[in-house]
Amino acid sequence: MSGRSSVVLFHGVTMSAAAWDDVVPHLTEYHEVIAPTALGHRGGPEVRQRPVRVRDVVDAAERMLDERGIDKAHLAGNSLGGWMAIELALRGRALSVCALSPAGFWDAGGHGQTDAVRKLRRMGALVRRTHRVQPLALRSAWVRRLSMRDIACRADRLTPDRALSAATDLIECAVTEDLLGTDEQIAPIPQVPCPITLAWSGEDAILPPAINGRIARNRLPQARFEILPGVGHVPMIDDPKLVAETILATTGALPETPSVRG
């Protein structure tokens, strides 16, 4: 490995490292890029004990860093992956964190979590019911856009093969219900251990900025808060270049763009 610092990319629940495929080429000029697949997800480490908690997924990610001989790296993640990045930062493993619409920011009463879980379960049920016809149906850009409307504004920009792979990731994720049913959350963090950017998708239908973004800003008041315009919950689908630029601004490789605050 060269002397360049590493950036580690963590994907969201039910997804895989492939979620970052369109982002990685924009990062490799500046950093060594590592995109692992999380514990219990298709292609990731196998689960040895159930139920799986978010802390177990974070533990597995930390073991991956140890195995690669990485003490600290720039961490970026989306949804569950953003939560993982923040938790790893609290363990002293981050040079910086770029959390893209991170999960974990809800209250004990489920405010900010219940609607998200309902939508993700609905999407999962639809994908499982239609898996036999997906190779044909996903050839249609309209079907791709409609079927993924809860997580992206422009899923039609995915190729049919990429959309089918994402659907297979969802179907074969072994820990979906464990993680969607968690009572864990991110506690208030009055003092950040490293530079942290909370980059919220402006059109996020899963974790809306007006609800979950507001909770995140209250619990992480020292973090830089930014709204990413025109993208859904998984912004890597809609605008991979914008995602890469947001990450690189956090690592210091590119100048920061002005924050959009709501």
pLDDT band at 111 (very low <50, low <70, confident <90, very high): confident
pLDDT band at 254 (very low <50, low <70, confident <90, very high): confident
User: Is 260 inside any structural domain?
Assistant: no
Q: What is the pLDDT of residues 43-102, one digit of tens each?
A: 999 999 999 999 999 999 999 999 999 999 999 999 999 999 999 999 999 999 999 999
Other beta carbons less than 10 A from residue 116's beta carbon: 23
Is residue 2 predicted with pLDDT exceeding 70?
no
Q: CATH no. for residue 49?
A: 3.40.50.1820
Q: Can you tell me the distance from the alpha carbon of 183 to that of 147, in angstroms, rounded to the nearest whole number?
A: 28
Q: Is residue 107 part of a domain?
A: yes
- Is residue 258 very low, low, confident or very high in pLDDT (cuts 50, 70, 90)? low
Residues sharing a CB contact under 8 Å with residue 208, sequence separation 6 or more, in sequence order: none
Query: Which candidate, 88, 68, 62, places its Cα nearest to that of 76?
Result: 88
Distance CA 48, CA 196 (A): 32
Q: Which structural domain, as residue segments, surrounds residue 174?
A: 6-251
Three-state helix/strand/coil letters over the chain: CCCCCEEEEECCCCCCHHHHCCCHHHHCCCCEEECCCCCCCCCCCCCCCCCCCHHHHHHHHHHHHHHCCCCCEEEEEECHHHHHHHHHHHCCCEEEEEEECCCCCCCCCCCCCHHHHHHHHHHHHHHHHCCCCHHHHCCCHHHHHHHCCCCCCCHHHCCHHHHHHHHHHHHHCCCHHHHHCCCCCCCCCCCCCCCEEEEEECCCCCCCHHHHHHHHHHHCCCCEEEEECCCCCCHHHHCHHHHHHHHHHHHCCCCCCCCCCC
- Mean pLDDT of all residues in 225-239: 98
Please indicate, yes or no, if residue 168 is contained in any of the structural domains.
yes
Residue 123 token pair? 């999407």
**Contact predicate 12/6, CB 8 Å:** no
Q: Give how many domains the chain has, as a whole number.
A: 1
Query: Contact 151/157 with Cβ under 8 angstroms?
Result: no
- Is the pLDDT score of 184 beyond 60? yes
**Within a domain: 259:** no
**Looking at the domain assignment, is residue 262 inside a domain?**
no
* Structural domain contains residue 125: yes
pLDDT tens for 199-221 read 999 999 999 999 999 999 999 99
256 assigned to some structural domain: no
- Name residues whose C-beta falls within 8 Å of residue 86's C-beta, 6 or more positions apart in sequence: 97, 99, 102, 104, 186, 189, 196, 220
Q: Residue 259: pLDDT above 60?
A: no
pLDDT at 164 exceeding the cut of 90: yes
pTM of the model: 0.95
Specify the pLDDT at position 1: 40
pLDDT at 228 over 60: yes
| Residue 48, in any domain of the structure | yes
What pLDDT score was predicted for residue 4? 83
Q: Give 255's pLDDT tier (boundaries 50, 70, 90).
A: confident
Model confidence at 257, pLDDT cuts 50, 70, 90, reads low
